[in-house]
Structure 1
Amino acid sequence: MTGTPWKETAGGLATQLERSTDEALAAIGFYTRIPSWRLVSPDRATEFSNTQWAAPLAGIVIGLLLGMCNALFDAIDIADLPRGVLVIVAGLLLTGALHEDGLADVADGFGGGPDRERKLAIMKDSRLGAYGVLAMIASFLLRATLIAALTDPTVAALSLVAAHGAARALMPAMLHRLPNARGEGVACQIGHPSKAAVITALSIGFLALLPLGLIPLIVALIALAFVYGGMTALARWQIGGQTGDVCGTLEQIGEIAVLVLCATLLT
């Protein structure tokens, strides 16, 4: 009988590790074009809401890959601004412009809809309006020029990991806090992440910021808190809750906020 509790504990930990690995692979596959979801065991299928703790983990993977791209472009002596543009293009290819699409839809809907129903209808429409075009252009140019200002490849890599990881850590919190405004769509399919998933996501986002140093860490936390609070209040006011597009907009603004402080404090 001796050792049986240890075997049960080890077996439980192994099962939990397998489940967490599958959830992380599913999240990475959702937030990127990497087909990691194919590695998820069909025997351990789980609610997709349970995978959202790994959203910032997907962001860290994106940041690491973009940091490697940036280092490569720097090594072949590409000028700073074109380097920044190429890193953003690489990011669009890696993620399928998932969050940029959300930003454009929110800009069109919030900017052009006279009431809640019309705003949601505009956001669902696949056509792109003037507000959406301008929002995407602004996001692209801001991020490209901020990355161009990060001339040290190591600092740039740390900044990209921090920006993508921390910004995506905010999305599970919004999904948990706000009701779905439409009752359908991607955010509705994701579901309602648990409080434990939200805490885990925020903890991973915090770890992504940690290598930046104490002062940038504090500034980033304050900035992200304002971004989250402002976007949450705006979404509640405009449409009464969140959608996948709203979460994408939250990610874009959070990413820009972290890159701004990195370009300001680390260069």
Structure 2
Amino acid sequence: MAPRDILQQITGDLRLSLGLLTRLPLPGEPDLTRGAAAAWAWPLAGLAPALLAGLAIWLTSGLGSGLSAALALAVMAMVTGAMHEDGLADTADGLWGGWTAERRLEIMKDSHIGTYGVLALILSVLARWSLLAGLITAGQALPALMAAALLSRVPMVALMAWMPPAREGGLSRAVGQPPLEAAGIGGGVALVLAMALTGSTAIWAALLIAAVAIALGMLAKAKIGGQTGDILGASQQLSEIAALAVLAASL
């Protein structure tokens, strides 16, 4: 493949990933022919909400780390359409709210939120807010946010490549199953860039994220027989917490 064709494929995959994982207004129409093979670029798409959150932190730097962290989380939720937060809430409700795989999937598809979902969101936001506030105080918020954004989206690709969809419909099945190479490329790119941002600490963050993703994948396999878009969203949120925790602990 010619260098120009490679560059066009990379930019097309990134455009498709941004269109899927963010609510940013993008010019033109995405190239849908690559399908799930473009999933390697999902970690790169995560840089968009991270950079905008970093801008929010910079603009509110005189208002205190707590408020800056809250606004940064709000910006990331708006840029992504809170789709990952929604996945976490639905996953918590479904995996702990039903007695059969069919009932759990039904609960996860329901637009209403239950007690488990509310608790999961509260704990997730509190964890990310407290960790981010500490990183802001230490002056390390932007590289940490970018590294966490890169690494936390790798499990989404890996779980899709590793596990079958748990239901016939839904976003996960519509996107398709990425090839294992896509997960490998995405993981490699994310780790290299995260190491450039945060040094060798990124390796420890990646190892903890891998453990979290494997545990979630095994739980989803046991309870619903595979992965869904909600499981993928939950993996991103839990992985982001893991990454920020490691990066904050390294200060």
> Same fold, TM exceeding 0.5?
yes
Q: Please name the residue that 2:23 is paired with.
A: 33
Matched-pair identity in %: 36
Counterpart of 2:198, as a letter, is: L
State the Cα distance separating 1:96 from its structure 2 match: 0.6
What are the equivalent positions in structure 2 for 1:146-225 lying under 5 Å apart? 146-152=131-137, 155-210=140-195, 211-214=197-200, 216-225=201-210
Counterpart CA distance in 2 for 1:198 and 1:151 is: 31
CA contact (8 A) 1:102 1:247 kept: yes
Q: Please name the residue that 2:239 is paired with.
A: 254
CA contact (8 A) 1:181 1:239 kept: yes
Q: Please name the residue that 1:230 is paired with.
A: 215
- Tell me, what secondary structure is at the counterpart of 1:122? helix
CA contact (8 A) 1:22 1:39 kept: no
Q: Residue 52 and residue 71 in structure 1: after superposition, are their counterparts in 2 closer, same or farther (change >3 A)?
A: same
- Using the TM superposition, name which of 54-63 and 175-184 deviates more: 54-63
Counterpart CA distance in 1 for 2:243 and 2:15 is: 25
Aligned counterpart in structure 2 of residue 140 of structure 1, from 122, 125, 128: 125
Within the alignment, does 1:61 sit opposite 2:48 as a pair?
yes
Deviant stretches of 4+, over 4 Å? none
CA deviation map 1:95-116 (0-9, x unaligned): 1101000000000001110110
Counterpart of 2:85, as a letter, is: E
State the Cα distance separating 1:40 from its structure 2 match: 4.0
CA deviation map 1:224-265 (0-9, x unaligned): 121111111111111110000000000000000011111211
Any unmatched runs of 5+ in structure 2? none
CA contact (8 A) 1:63 1:165 kept: no
State the Cα distance separating 1:153 from its structure 2 match: 7.3
Counterpart CA distance in 2 for 1:70 and 1:124 is: 34
State the Cα distance separating 1:152 from its structure 2 match: 5.0
Q: Which structure: larger Rg?
A: 1
Counterpart of 1:197, as a letter, is: A
Counterpart CA distance in 2 for 1:252 and 1:235 is: 15
Q: Please name the residue that 2:39 is paired with.
A: 52
Q: Please name the residue that 1:13 is paired with.
A: 3
Aligned counterpart in structure 2 of residue 99 of structure 1, from 74, 84, 88: 84
Counterpart CA distance in 1 for 2:38 and 2:203 is: 28
Q: Please name the residue that 1:6 is paired with.
A: none
Counterpart of 1:262, as a letter, is: L
CA contact (8 A) 1:107 1:131 kept: yes
TM-score by length of 2: 0.95
Counterpart CA distance in 1 for 2:47 and 2:193 is: 7
- Using the TM superposition, name which of 195-204 and 93-102 deviates more: 195-204
Counterpart of 1:213, as a letter, is: G
CA contact (8 A) 1:32 1:96 kept: yes
Counterpart of 2:20, as a letter, is: F
CA contact (8 A) 2:161 2:183 kept: yes
